[in-house]
Amino acid sequence: MPASPIRKLVPFAEAAKKRGIKVYHLNIGQPDIETPKAAMDAVRHSDFKVLEYSHSAGNESYRRKLVEYYRKRNIIIDHTQIIITTGGSEAILFGFMACLDEGDEVIIPEPFYANYNGFAVEAGVNVVPIKSYIENGFALPPIEDFEKAITPKTKAIVICNPNNPTGYLYSEAEMQTLGEIIKKHNLYLFSDEAYREFCYEGSHFSAMQLDGAEENVILMDTISKRYSACGGRIGAFVTRNKTLLDTVMKFAQARLSPPGFAQILGEAAVDLPDDYFDKTKAEYKARRDLIVKRLNAMEGVFCPNPGGAFYAMASLPVDDADDFCQWLLERFEHEKQTVMVAPASGFYGTPGLGKNEIRLAYVLNLTAINKAMDCLEVALRKYKVSKTH
C-alpha cells in the first residue's frame, strides 16, 4: 500500500507545532468554508428514538432528492440508479471491485488523486498511468496515448473532473474523446466529479451526459467538498448500468448501510438556494488567482492556472520536492511560521515523475495564503543556500 503524499508528513507538522511553529496547511483539501447551517440544523433537530440502519442503497428520500440535484445539472437519472456510499472513496472502491477482476488494468492520466493507487491495491488491480504535462496545464493526453496503453487486460479509464491534484477542467471536446475511446473498446469510464461546483474557466460537462455510453459510465460523487462536509463520509455511486448496480448492491449490503446522520445532512443540503455556490465559488476563485500570481512571481517557479477544484500544481527550482517538503516542517521557519504542501511524486504512477513539483490546496483565506506564500518564497531561497553548503 503506497504512503499518502497528503498525510505522510503529518508527524513532522505535529513536531513543528510542538516547537511553537504555526503551520499553514495547504497539503490537504480540507476547506475552511463553513458547512451550511441549514444542513447542520437538519441533523441537530433530528427527532428519532433509534438510529437505525438505512437501506443499503441509502435512504430513498435522499436518493430522490439527489435526482432533483442532478436534473438541475442536466444529468437525468432516477433514484434506483444511485447507491449512497461511505464517502466518494467507497464509490471508487466499489467500482473497482465490481468492474475489474484481479490483475485487470485501469488507465488513469497522471498526476492523479493518490488514493486511486490505494483503492487499486485493495481491489487487486493494476493502474496504468498516462502522462499529462504541466506545460499545457495537464490537459487530457492525446487519444494515441490511450490507444497505446490499452491491452486485453484493460477494463476502465478513470478521470477526475475538475481534477485533483491539478485543478484541470476537462472540456466537452475532451470528454467526447473519452466517450469515443470507451465505446470503441467497450471500457468503463469512472468519472470522479467531487469538485463539479467549482469551475472557474468554462463549464462542467459530466461523463453522464455522453451519448451512447449509458452502460459504460460510472459517476463517483461526494458531499465532502461540495458542502464542506468532509467528515460526513457520504458519497454516491451512480450509473444507468442495471447489471453493475446489482453487483455493487452486494458490496453495499455486505457493509450494511452508509452513515445515517450525514444522509440527513446531505438531503437537507440539496434544498439550499440555487445561488448557494456563487459566494463559495467566488471565494475560491479569488484564492486561486492569488496563489497562482504569488507562485509565478517566485524565481524558478511555474504554476499553470487551474480551471476548477481548489488545487494547484507548481514546479519548483528543487531537485527533490519530497525532501524540500519535509525540510519545510523539520528545519525551516519564517517569523515562527511555515507552510505544509504535498510533494507531487505521490500523485504520479510512473516512478521518477513529479520530483520537482508540489500540490497546493488553496483552502485557506486570502490572508493565510499570502503568509504561506511569504514562507514559501523565503524557504526556496534558504533551501537553495542550504544545498550549496
Mean pLDDT of 345-369: 96
CB 292 within 8 A of CB 303: yes
199 has pLDDT over 80: yes
Mean pLDDT of 113-119: 94
Distances (CA, A) of 5 to 10, 272, 340, 342, 354: 10, 34, 11, 6, 12
Domains 10-34+277-387 and 37-269 share a fold: no
Quick one: which of 315, 317, 314 has its CA closest to 299? 317
Q: How far apart are CA 227 and CA 280, in angstroms?
A: 10
CB 290 within 8 A of CB 369: yes
Phi, psi of 165 (to 5 degrees): -105, 0
Quick one: which of 2, 23, 27 has its CA closest to 14? 23
Helix 87-99 with 242-254: angle, nearest 10 deg: 120
Cell of 295: 507562485
389 has pLDDT over 70: no
Q: For domain 10-34+277-387, which CATH number applies: 3.30.365.10, 3.90.1150.10, 3.10.180.10, 3.40.50.1110?
A: 3.90.1150.10
Say if domain 37-269 classifies as CATH 3.40.640.10. Answer: yes
Residues 6+ apart with CB under 8 A from 170: 140, 159, 161, 162, 163, 178, 205
- DSSP state, 231? G
2 has pLDDT over 80: no
5 has pLDDT over 80: no
CB neighbour class for 330 (10 Å; exposed up to 12, middle 13-18, buried from 19): middle
Residues 6+ apart with CB under 8 A from 196: 73, 161, 162, 204, 206, 221, 226
**Mean pLDDT taken over the chain:** 96
209 has pLDDT over 70: yes
What is the per-residue pLDDT across 60-102, written as a single tens digit (0 to 9) for each?
999 999 999 999 999 999 999 999 999 999 999 999 999 999 9
Cell of 185: 473498446
Quick one: which of 192, 165, 132, 136 has its CA closest to 362? 165
388 has pLDDT over 80: no
Q: How confident is the model at residue 386 (pLDDT cuts 50, 70, 90)?
A: confident
49 has pLDDT over 70: yes
Q: How confident is the model at residue 7 (pLDDT cuts 50, 70, 90)?
A: confident
What is the per-residue pLDDT across 21-45, written as a single tens digit (0 to 9) for each?
999 999 999 999 999 999 999 999 9
What is the per-residue pLDDT across 285-337, written as a single tens digit (0 to 9) for each?
999 999 999 999 999 999 999 999 999 999 999 999 999 999 999 999 999 99
What is the per-residue pLDDT across 133-186, written as a single tens digit (0 to 9) for each?
999 999 999 999 999 999 999 999 999 999 999 999 999 999 999 999 999 999
Q: How far apart are CA 56 and CA 206, in angstroms?
A: 26
* Percent of the residues in the chain that have a pLDDT greater than 90, as a whole number: 95
15 has pLDDT over 70: yes
For the chain, count helices (H), then strands (E).
12, 12
Q: What is the pLDDT of residue 60?
A: 98
Mean pLDDT of 356-363: 98
CB neighbours (10 Å) of residue 201?
A: 13
What is the per-residue pLDDT across 77-86, written as a single tens digit (0 to 9) for each?
999 999 999 9
Mean pLDDT of 339-362: 96
What are the domain boundaries of the chain? 10-34+277-387, 37-269
Q: How far apart are CA 84 and CA 94, in angstroms?
A: 11
Q: What is the pLDDT of residue 8?
A: 82
Q: How confident is the model at residue 198 (pLDDT cuts 50, 70, 90)?
A: very high
Q: Is the dihedral of CA 158, 162, 164, 166 positive or negative?
A: positive
